[in-house]
Structure 1
């Protein structure tokens, strides 16, 4: 359960130096100001960021001031929330980005029948994917989160519910919408559908993408 402002639950236990999952103390001088700067850059209050990360505001405050040592899972969670990487949190210089994404180098990942491949570079402000969408069911989850989404249908037909409206998109059709509008995406054909999917990653955690609700795994 997420901690909320005023929560009196104990802070999560941080691994001792040298324990599995612990980040060495030599990174503390860099990670603390990075955590604070990235949170402010995303326009998040201490309470809002802590709630999304499953931490208490007091615990996050101690991480930002260097008074508490972060574990690797904490850094991963905060990196997702801030739309960045653990390397950036640790102040490491990013490698030169290759602007070309080769078709054969994208390993498919599956979650709840959704199969997706990276179609853009990592660490960018946009998340670009090629997605296989499973057949829509009544159990499909309605999503609401900050950001924008753009989809373009390559094969099959896609059913897109936006608020009270339902649209059926054929191959070649596209849709561009505000993600704060309640939405649901599913294939309108039993064999599924293929689409290109672009999302403003920097404005929303990766976990809130409309790509199934289970644990992603490599195929």
Structure 2
């Protein structure tokens, strides 16, 4: 599948930021814990760019994640209220739908999202891993999460905290979408 315009715009912001800070792709990859080939592919806009990578780049380069996602800086410093259903839609993984809940907060130290995993009876597992830690709190539906070789089933009000470097894959079960709060640190 060809990259969408949003992915290409983010890719251009990634490369522009790195150029402006005069950081080599090798140095940025080392600082973020990603491989050079991965970082290069994200800057070329030819592959999905995981939110976790954008979060690491934002921390490493001391910029807001919102700036990388939208091209605009966040401005709120004491609090940010996001009304129900009003988070910033982030198209990062084709299989999941993300809504950023702290996109207006300046220099936040964690990234909370509402994530919806659409049910698909033929859903393939797509593994992801990234630096950091992750917290999932189930809101709706039933979710299968695979961590390495462990298969966990989560239902509403279940919680999971894990090292995001552990390869993980998600899929909704029982014919319904699964929705959860996801906090990445």
TM-score (norm 2): 0.59
Q: Which runs of 5+ in 2 are unaligned?
A: 1-11
For residue 36 of structure 1, report the CA deviation from its aligned partner. 3.5
Partner of 1:101: 81
Residues 80-95 of structure 1 aligned to structure 2 (within 5 Å): 80=54, 82-83=57-58, 84-85=63-64
Partner of 1:115: 97
CA deviations on 1:90-131 (whole Å, 9 max, x unpaired) are xxxx66325223226424455535222121235533221111
Partner of 1:165: 150
Partner of 1:130: 114
After superposition, the Cα gap between the structure-2 partners of 1:87 and 1:127, relative to the gap in structure 1 and judged at 3 Å, is closer
Q: Secondary structure at the match of 2:128?
A: coil
RMSD of the TM alignment (CA)? Answer: 4.3
Alpha-carbon distance between aligned partners in 1 of 2:155 and 2:99, rounded to the nearest angstrom: 21
Partner of 2:21: 34
Aligned with 1:53 (options 29, 40, 43): 40
Partner of 1:154: 139
Q: Secondary structure at the match of 2:21?
A: helix
Partner of 1:11: none
Residues 193-204 of structure 1 aligned to structure 2 (within 5 Å): 193-200=178-185
For residue 33 of structure 1, report the CA deviation from its aligned partner. 6.9
Preserved contact between residue 133 and residue 193 of structure 1 (Cα < 8 Å):
yes
For residue 155 of structure 1, report the CA deviation from its aligned partner. 0.9
Q: Secondary structure at the match of 1:103?
A: coil
Alpha-carbon distance between aligned partners in 1 of 2:118 and 2:143, rounded to the nearest angstrom: 10
TM-score (norm 1): 0.51
1:44 aligns with 2:31: yes
After superposition, the Cα gap between the structure-2 partners of 1:173 and 1:53, relative to the gap in structure 1 and judged at 3 Å, is same
